[in-house]
Amino acid sequence: KNQVEQSPQSLIILEGKNCTLQCNYTVSPFSNLRWYKQDTGRGPVSLTIMTFSENTKSNGRYTATLDADTKQSSLHITASQLSDSASYICVVMQNYGGSQGNLIFGKGTKLSVKP
Amino acid sequence: KAGVTQTPRYLIKTRGQQVTLSCSPISGHRSVSWYQQTPGQGLQFLFEYFSETQRNKGNFPGRFSGRQFSNSRSEMNVSTLELGDSALYLCASSGGSPWEQYFGPGTRLTVT
């Protein structure tokens, strides 16, 4: 069964600290993996997208890693800020060929950054 | 470039009623996808429209339907509302590739 599992479900950290969110998937065939940030009451915003051949990609203080062999991805947040408080959603796209694909969403990790 | 807009932002309906939600994609985008988001299930794919045709469909009952107009604006309709339909409904537009989606702010539907 094609699934995306995220851990932890929720996380509380102090401002300025680093944290790492995990995403394990069983989606096949794999096309790409994306991390979204979703603020409360808002739509998700893309942070990074990674294809099979990429194993690290950064976007400011956000660094995503991908291990296609173990089917694991992580999102590392450096020097957290209060504005990082949000849900982080991992999405994996199945490869159907061409531009179409099936998106499979994780349930997200809710991050709270406290002062 | 204006982003994806959704109307209304908030809606309260009674069980048994029907509801229509609207989504205006980014200018030039021809693909519009709809998602339901609940705390327990996360984001779930409803359907995708491309050039006025439904291209993909998720695993939702027939009470959920949609359509797309020639200007790429899309509407989603839910008939015979149930309490479990209370959710945030998100619309996303793309220029054709599903991995280049841009989400709207969502419509928060509450069914009482």
Is the CB of B103 less than 8 angstroms away from the CB of A44?
A: yes
Of B95, B54, B102, the closest CA to residue B76 belongs to B54
pLDDT tens digit sequence for B62-75:
999 999 999 999 99
pLDDT by residue (tens digit) across B72-99? 999 999 999 999 999 999 999 988 665 6
Closest Cα partner for B77 from B103, B99, B53, B109?
Answer: B109
Put simply, whether B55 touches A (Cβ < 8 Å) is: yes
Nearest-neighbour CA in chain B from A33: distance (Å) = 9
Q: How many contacts does A have with B, using Cβ atoms within 8 A?
A: 47
Nearest by Cα to A76 from A65, A68, A87, A84:
A65
Q: Do A105 and B4 touch (CB under 8 A)?
A: no
- Does B105 touch chain A if contact means CB atoms closer than 8 Å? yes
Give the CA count within 13 Å in the CB-facing half-sphere of B34: 30
**B104/A contact by beta carbon, under 8 A:** yes
The 3-class secondary structure across B17-52, one letter per residue, is: CCEEEEEECCCCCCEEEEEEEECCCEEEEEEEEECC
- Confirm if B87 and B107 have CB atoms less than 8 A apart: no
CB neighbourhood size of A59 (10 A)? 14
Confidence category of residue A101, pLDDT binned at 50, 70, 90: low
